[in-house]
Structure 1
């Protein structure tokens, strides 16, 4: 079974998938006439104005919707994923992560536009949406099988990549750094997540609206302090990243795996893993936003990719490259810890605590994603059983050996992207038309 899933994983995360994700983002960016890039400042303005709920349809404020989305994306990919990309693809991988994020902003924009435009109300009158709904409502009855595929893959992927794998990573990190028993970490995480998740999306949004900005700003502030301490090296660092992106081994002394192809492959793959643009997870959160204008929510949603990769991942990458330890054979979280430790000390503590907070918020965001996928099949009666099962799985994940679960979840995560990308391409004319018709009112903050 492991060999079979490994083969499937190498196929679904191979070049065809990476090209499809990047190609979809590039197609949407061109079709939108670079709208996401042209309106980044205005989008931040809308985000700040959307901190409070408006007298519009939805369950949580536009700001909370973005924070819920970011709670799931700002995670292990920002610490371990960036380090893995640089270790296997060289400094040039960071450049390709930036490229992935820039086109991914168009993908995330289109996802949120479709999520709000095609969302529907559940039995309790609350809004619910995401790829399964914009496939069903946007593409018609003949495509319902595709919507069911997304919901199926999303429900099972969540228990792996958004739950047990996160708990296991935190338990392992805290055990190695603080000698904390893994079962203690598992129980503590289950209690913390349970207190939030059992309250539904409004409580998740409220907690994410506080915790995500605090953790993201704190991590970036620490990284910026390190970068400022080494400001004289930044121009050379940028030159190294750009040169290595196109020249590979020639830019970094010929160490193994640093070719241009490796830089592209690992930069793109880890960038997608980090910001989730194209996977279809984030629009589930944005569908619950308090807005009557899908374009406005699309502008806010695209900032998730910008914040996650252009800001947070870049800071991790700069710290690793400034430290000079990236050629030493380490990878993943261990490389990030070594980089921080070599520059300011306490790397193990910084990375372990960062992973703990990041993983905690990831479990919150993915709890809502998985819940909506299950509700798509079984209705609101499945909500409480799902939440209980979600919390119960956390301590089991913390104590188990999860190599196979990680492999399976990573594969299902990629399979989520296929129905979503097909839908985005087919619904792109709707996205383009809505953008032309409602951009002005969105920028003005009107409905």
Structure 2
């Protein structure tokens, strides 16, 4: 297992090199400038669309704007925000959060373009149903000669959509917060039991299709974000004197990189810190990866720009809000310097330090909701990829592969799971960003027409 772990780590490091950083961040900056900061100029209109002001039940699609954002957020507002941020701080210190923010701001523009395209160029599967996503807008927007990129995205998506990291961290949280403090022996058997329970819960929802997924997560996501938000505010209030210091340290350490413990990039620790922040940002909000396009492409709308505006709010909610709350919780309590635990256990230590007795249980409740909702959404993404590759009538086979992966995630190491998903996310980003940059002028043409009508 240690040899496999090393191979997976080397694979993730190889694909997450300078070229991919340039593609994600450089490409995102180009989109931000091309749109003249459109995601920020029309934030109010985006909120109106999200509230349902423009909903039309006769529009093509399967789910409404709010449900599509909830489905997308249920896969992004998850363990990336709790465990992923903890990993970033454990390796990079406070400065990693600044580069996480940069990836989110740039990612808002990327999300606007990718998800506008997911509605502009919807295709049909082999059963004749309307479908959206990177693979469809590559074929419909760029033509059949680019289909090899759509296939590449879909194959990478079969692994990238697996829930192994979320399951791994939920299992670790149950062990660390619930079982070990109550003197219950933990190991392979307890992890396997947790995995089987998650399989049962997940199967009930995902075998019901997108409508059941959309309905479930539209109820679960707002509630879990509210509970987590409330818990973190208590911790920040208890440690309010430390908040200004650590907010300023995030900015200064972003360039000093004094707390960075990872591998250097381009011969320096600052390069390594920037890469760490961008990597964790991509894992957290998935901007430029392309998974969310499959949820937003199913939205009931005939206006692609509206869906792009709704989608761009994802990185703002996910990274600028939820990730920042997690980061401040870990920093102000000081556990990032006083404990040697990593991932979700580090966040749990922060909760326990500020809200004794109940804090870690509150976090466990949030983690369970985050992880389980992510399980529902990622299964949908995987079935869409398989549907594109071998036909919609066979897409259900992915669910069996997906369910088996839950057991694998529950019984293997954190490093292997996070590197595996990181690596395949990087592969998915290549066709997503290349096709989006080529098609971006068409989005801007559509946007000018839409906002002329809107005004």
Is TM more than 0.5 here? Answer: yes
User: What residue number does 2:354 align with?
Assistant: 343
1:376-402 CA deviation, whole Å, 9 max, x = no partner?
012221133222442344235434567
Pair 1:198 & 2:207 matched: yes
CA 53–368 in structure 1, closer or farther in 2 if over 3 Å, else same: farther
2:310 maps to what in 1?
A: 300
Q: Which residue of 2 is the match for residue 60 of structure 1?
A: 63
Partner of 1:12: 15
Write the mapping of 1:13-412 to structure 2, written as runs, cut at 5 A: 13-49=16-52, 54-159=57-162, 162=163, 164-179=164-179, 181-249=190-258, 260-328=270-338, 329-345=340-356, 346-400=358-412, 404=416, 406-412=418-424
Partner Cα distance (2:197, 2:411) in 1? 13
Query: Structure 1: how far apart are the matches of 2:371 and 2:343?
Result: 15
After superposition, give the CA deviation of every residue in 1:83-106 in whole Å (9 maximum; x if it has no partner).
Answer: 121222221211111111001000
Is the CA contact (8 Å cut-off) linking 2:239 and 2:333 kept in structure 1?
no
Q: Provide closer, same or farther for how the CA distance between residues 103 and 215 of structure 1 changes in structure 2, counting only shifts above 3 A.
A: same
Greater shift, 185-194 or 120-129, is seen at 120-129
Change (3 A) 1:248 1:411: closer
Residues 53 and 60 of structure 1: is their aligned pair in 2 closer, same or farther, counting only changes over 3 Å?
farther
**Secondary structure in structure 2 of the residue aligned to 1:56:** coil
Question: Does structure 2 conserve the Cα–Cα contact (< 8 Å) formed by 1:53 and 1:62?
Answer: no
User: Do the aligned partners of 1:85 and 1:267 also contact (CA within 8 Å) in 2?
Assistant: yes
Q: Distance in 1 between matches of 2:354 and 2:140?
A: 52
Residue matched to 2:187: none
* CA apart distance, 1:403: 5.7
Query: How many residue pairs were aligned?
Result: 436
Question: Which whole-Å CA distance do the structure 2 matches of 1:153 and 1:342 have between them?
Answer: 40
Maintained 8 Å contact 1:51/1:61:
no
Which range is displaced more, 164-173 or 315-324?
Answer: 164-173
Q: Which moved more, 1:105-114 or 1:395-404?
A: 395-404
| 2:432 matches 1:429 | no
Q: CA deviation at 1:126?
A: 3.1
Q: 5+ residue gaps in structure 2?
A: 185-189
Partner Cα distance (1:338, 1:82) in 2: 14
Distance in 1, matches of 2:82 and 2:414, equals 20
Instruction: Return 51-60 or 149-158, whichever deviates more.
Output: 51-60
SS of 1:427's partner is helix
Q: TM-score, normalised by structure 2?
A: 0.89
